[in-house]
Amino acid sequence: MKKRVVITGLGCVSPLGHTVESTWAAILAGTPGGGPITLIDPTLHKSRVAAEVKDFDAAALFGHREARRMDRFAQLAMAAAQEAMQDSGLQVTDSNRLRVGCLVGSGIGGSTSLIEQVKVFMKSGPDRVSPFLVPMMIPDSAGGLIAIELQIQGPNWAISTACATGGNALGEAAEVIRRGQADAMLAGGSEASVNDLAMAGLGNMTALTGNNDNPQGASRPFDANRDGFLMGEGAAVLMLESLEHAQARGAKIYGEILGYGSTNDAFHISAPAENGRGAVDCMRMALDDAGLKPEQIDYINAHGTSTPLNDKSETAAIKTTFGEHAYKIPVSSTKSMTGHMIGAAGAIEAMFCLLAIRDGMLPPTINYETPDPLCDLDVVPNQARAAEIDICMSNSFGFGGHNATVIVGRYQAQAD
């Protein structure tokens, strides 16, 4: 019997809100998070729209001095981690701090700070480059700062698997607990990639939407007129604990990590494998890990990026994995509202699965207007839907061919 891992705390900062509940309320209302870019000069770019985190005041949260020494991705991660820790009710003391760890990843880390300091270097020379550049730039800085702030000294590292990062972080953190290395792990992802180089690079590879005149309708997963993903930003961090540890302290439990799969397409550095073969293997691995049959999945939060290739290949992969049952499973993409939060996507989408179980509500895929015959599953179009949900699958697929699938379920005192 492998050790059971449950979720006892949630935290997020998103384009839809600065807290879990404000974000979730916006999701159920079908609120679009897209708008004109404000963080950089949008006129330089092909894609001039994004799902930005609005009105985020890092100085008010952390003080001016500390905020200046943190990249935006780390600031967002810190805010999400603080909410998750508070929500969990876990008290860190000298007796347990070595048993509480952190695994928070990022797709591209502190790229904004790197860009800013390259400009300083080119203009004023090496002596003017910030001594805090490397700590701000490296992807593991978020986890390090979280540990310092919360005084947790257990296992702590970062995962960087592009858009699969958040899912891999949750799955690997669960494995840390399962093997007995920690009793509790803060796990998730963070991204702040609305910067000139990321927008230029992704724009030039035609990955981003060009729907600049309709930012709120720009992210349209599974719609026949989708043309690329809407860049998003934000962070999501979840508190994972062994069931025994959570029960011993009387913690509330949102749900349980039932299964985890991780594979690689070994096909192309940015395009998904034909017919989604890597995704199929990943979903099957997660089902096997959970000891579940395909027909036991009640809902899938799809990777659903709103790119022509991804949505088509993911639909094909779900059909291969689930057979005829695929047409009976609601499959929605919350990226239609949050945009693509890159390294944070898998974590916040797993969080949405837990909240869907809690509230009995399926999140919608908004902006769904024109059906695509190649994406013919039940995508919960445009409006949230009441449903009895016990087990959810969250898919995350990233550049480099990385695939991560996490299955979460309603907590039951006795495992079936």
Nearest Cα to Cα of residue 397 among 323, 316, 290? 316
Strands (E), 265-414: 299-301, 331-332, 361-362, 385-386, 391-398, 402-409
Q: Is the CB of residue 270 less than 8 Å from the CB of residue 115?
A: no
Provide the terminal-to-terminal Cα distance of the chain, rounded to the nearest Å: 12
CA distance 185 to 344: 16
Distances (CA, A) of 145 to 109, 151, 215, 309, 351: 13, 10, 34, 37, 22
Which of 18, 45, 245, 340 is catalytic? The answer is 340
SS3 of residue 284 by DSSP = helix
CA distance 410 to 290: 13
Which of 303, 353, 375, 392 is catalytic? The answer is 303
Which of 12, 163, 353, 375 is catalytic? The answer is 163
Distances (CA, A) of 95 to 99, 123, 248: 9, 50, 15
Active site residue 340: yes
DSSP secondary structure string for all residues of 333-362: -THHHH-B-GGGHHHHHHHHHHHHHHHTEE
- Residue 148 has a CB neighbour count (10 Å cut-off) of 10
Q: Is the CB of residue 303 less than 8 Å from the CB of residue 271?
A: no
DSSP state, 100? Answer: E
Active site residue 18: no
DSSP state, 296? Answer: G
Categorise residue 366: left if φ over 0, alpha if ψ from -120 to 50, beta otherwise. Answer: beta
Q: Is the CB of residue 104 less than 8 Å from the CB of residue 186?
A: yes
- Residue 284 has a CB neighbour count (10 Å cut-off) of 16
- Catalytic center residues: 163, 303, 340
